[in-house]
Amino acid sequence: MCTRGIGRRRAGVVASRLVAGCAAVLITACAADGTAGSRPSSPARSAAPSSSASPAPLPPPGVLPRPGEVGAISSTGGLPPVISSIPTKRKVVFLTIDDGWEQDPGFVQQVRDQRIPITAFVMRDAVEAKGTPDQSGGPARYVGAGKWSYFRKLQAAGVPVENHTLTHPNLRLLGHEAQRAEICGASRLVKQRLGSRPTLFRPPFGNYNTDTLRAAKACGLSAVLLWTATVQPGGKIAYQVPDKKLRPGDILLLHFRPNLARDFRILVNKIKRRGFELGNLEAYLKAARAGAQ
Ligand SMILES: [Zn+2]
């Protein structure tokens, strides 16, 4: 089970405290953002340069920030900023999915066909099915785990694949060098397997310290991403704020779990019913970082 608390100061930045161990739970769901229809085989973003005369690339999935919409996210001491939500007043939220134990092909199709904006944070032992899956989200079958090709398909569907360590340790218990080995090792592996180097880092359990930020910087990562709410099996949102409401700029955390496509559909419908859109996290982060300069 995960218990974690995240400090949410102003809309935007920094998560102050995190919690202690918790493994993965969540699932996610999200459906289309209402932008475009399906174009099954046209990647919005691809790691590999396209060599043939393919049609013009689609724009990134999800809503993009309007000029002046996003507040600044600045870093301190030259270290990557720690971000738990995006500073905006627009009713937009962001979907992130962690680990990689369950590799449901139906979910890839859903993301591709409905142009759903998500960001994946992968962990080697999950993707390669080396460890013991967390069971806290319900009975798990972990269908198809063990393949990087699953993430190549997601990447081709416009999903950035980011860094979530090699073995999912509690980084607070590790020294700087060990943290660096976990973080840099994961970035190297993603680059090797998928062709693009991660720019974002999500610490397992949300646990980090200054050594984590130093290591992330040394490994070429530009920001540490936390979250403001988790999504449980069945698409239920578990908020980490007292009023239990979605807020503009919220970052939701799910996991690659069984029934992800179904739960994703429930979640996305719920988000839309509440009047929120799904945003393109990378575009919003870019706008926030630009605003800090
Ligand atoms: Zn995780």
Q: Per residue in 269-278, pLDDT tens?
A: 999 999 999 9
Amino acid 199: pLDDT: 98
| 230 Cα to the center of ligand 1, angstroms | 12
When pLDDT is cut at 50, 70 and 90, the band that residue 146 belongs to is low
| 289 Cα to the center of ligand 1, angstroms | 25
| 229 Cα to the center of ligand 1, angstroms | 14
d(CA 236, CA 253): 11
Amino acid 60: pLDDT: 82
| 99 Cα to the center of ligand 1, angstroms | 5
Amino acid 140: pLDDT: 53
| Contact (CB, 8 A) for 15 and 203 | no
| 48 Cα to the center of ligand 1, angstroms | 27
| 88 Cα to the center of ligand 1, angstroms | 26
| 98 Cα to the center of ligand 1, angstroms | 5
d(CA 81, CA 87): 13
- Quickly count: other Cβ atoms within 10 Å of residue 38's Cβ: 12
Mean pLDDT lowest among 196-205, 239-248, 261-270: 239-248
When pLDDT is cut at 50, 70 and 90, the band that residue 282 belongs to is very high
- 30-79 pLDDT, tens digit each: 333 333 333 333 333 444 444 456 666 677 899 999 999 999 998 888 99
Q: What is the mean pLDDT of residues 120-132?
A: 87
pTM: 0.80
| Joined tokens for residue 291 | 């605003």
In CATH terms, the fold of domain 82-291 is TIM Barrel (3.20.20)
Amino acid 293: pLDDT: 61
Helix, strand, coil percentages in the chain from 3-state DSSP, rounded to 5: 30, 15, 60
Q: Where are the domains of the chain?
A: 82-291
Amino acid 242: pLDDT: 80
d(CA 160, CA 169): 22
| 133 Cα to the center of ligand 1, angstroms | 10
When pLDDT is cut at 50, 70 and 90, the band that residue 217 belongs to is very high
- Bridge partners (DSSP) of residue 252 are 95, 229
| 164 Cα to the center of ligand 1, angstroms | 7
Residues with CB under 5 A from ligand 1 (ion): 24, 98-99, 204
